[in-house]
């Protein structure tokens, strides 16, 4: 089901109010999976007597950490797409530009009561000079299994066939998670059975298994302040998440104009 939002803002200049900036932001639906392209639609009317320096749409991850008596909220900007200025009295439309979701944890983290994750795509219109942006936020839901009609219309690519890594080597980004078993007699390396944390349903035709890609945030050091200085080994860790390959380059910070 399509989702949409709208907002408007008056801009005052030298004590004289000009006409409003009016923006409407639309998405084809609310639910997506990592690797999928979100088509962006928006109409912006600049009825003011001031130039709009740009319009941009960004994706924000809002994480809420819950404790017994307190909660803390952290907002991170995942990616951004920017479009050209809008002169006074003119209009501009976003006509299906595609924002491609990078590897991200799913919304809400079902089963976890202390961490809650939400995602917001927000249209922003930035006036020139001292003024606050016009904002139109739309919450989206990021899941782990694509919609049946999306798969039937645009089947994602199957992950590449890869040989299990040799003993002692770590698996790189995009390599399916695996479970190691004892070696049969005479084998030089243990066999590996794929063990996908999110197995796709078998009743959706044309749906290949997802690959598992490193989080868009990369690696972090997991050493705590209380840990001993004598701890050794690789303490950098990056979670991996299901990722469906439709052949698009993910939209992340620094991509700029699409």
Can you give the pLDDT at residue 77?
Answer: 96
Contacts of 251 (CB under 8 A, 6+ apart): 59, 79, 80, 81, 98, 99, 100, 101, 102, 258
pLDDT-based confidence at residue 167 (cuts at 50, 70, 90): very low
Average pLDDT across the chain, whole number: 81
Distance between CA atoms of 174 and 172, rounded to whole angstroms?
A: 6
Please answer whether residues 85 and 51 qualify as being in contact, where contact means their C-beta atoms are separated by less than 8 angstroms. Answer: yes
pLDDT-based confidence at residue 203 (cuts at 50, 70, 90): low
pLDDT-based confidence at residue 170 (cuts at 50, 70, 90): very low
Distance between CA atoms of 256 and 80, rounded to whole angstroms?
A: 7
pLDDT exceeds cutoff 80 at 168 = no
pLDDT-based confidence at residue 72 (cuts at 50, 70, 90): very high
The pTM of the full predicted model, rounded to 2 decimals, is 0.76
Residue-wise pLDDT for 108-141, tens only, equals 988 888 999 999 999 999 999 888 999 999 999 9
**Of the candidates 24, 78, 47, 54, the residue with the CA atom closest to the CA atom of residue 133:** 54
pLDDT exceeds cutoff 60 at 253 = yes
Distance between CA atoms of 175 and 63, rounded to whole angstroms?
A: 27
- What are 68's two structure tokens? 């017994």
Go through the domains of the chain in sequence order and give each one's CATH number.
1-160+191-258 (2.60.40.640)
DSSP string, 155-199: PPBPPPP-PPPPTT----TBPPPEEE-PPPTT-SS--EEE--SSP
Distance of CA 253 to the CA centre of its chain: 11
């Amino acid at each position: 089901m399509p989702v949409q939002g709208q907002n408007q803002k008056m801009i005052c200049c030298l004590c004289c109010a000009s006409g409003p900036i009016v923006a409407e932001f639309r998405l084809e639906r609310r639910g997506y999976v990592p690797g999928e392209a979100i088509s962006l639609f928006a109409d912006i009317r600049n009825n003011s007597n001031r130039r709009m320096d740009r319009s941009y749409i960004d994706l924000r991850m809002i994480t809420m950490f819950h404790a017994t008596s307190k909660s803390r909220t952290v907002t991170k900007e995942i990616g951004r797409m920017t479009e050209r200025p809008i002169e006074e009295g003119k209009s501009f439309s976003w006509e299906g530009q595609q924002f491609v979701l990078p590897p991200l944890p799913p919304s809400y983290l079902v089963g976890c009561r202390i961490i809650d994750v939400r995602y917001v795509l927000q249209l922003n219109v930035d006036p020139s000079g001292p003024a606050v942006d016009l904002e139109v936020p739309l919450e989206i839901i990021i899941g782990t299994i694509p919609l049946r009609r999306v798969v039937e219309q645009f089947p994602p690519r199957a992950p590449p066939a890869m040989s299990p890594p040799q003993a002692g080597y770590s698996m790189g980004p995009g390599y399916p998670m695996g479970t190691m078993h004892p070696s049969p007699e005479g084998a030089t390396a243990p066999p590996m059975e794929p063990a996908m944390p999110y197995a796709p349903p078998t009743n959706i035709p044309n749906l290949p298994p997802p690959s598992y890609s490193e989080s868009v945030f990369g690696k972090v050091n997991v050493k705590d302040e209380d840990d001993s200085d004598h701890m050794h080994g690789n303490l950098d860790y990056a979670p991996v998440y299901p990722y469906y390959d439709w052949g698009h380059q993910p939209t992340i910070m620094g991509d700029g104009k699409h």
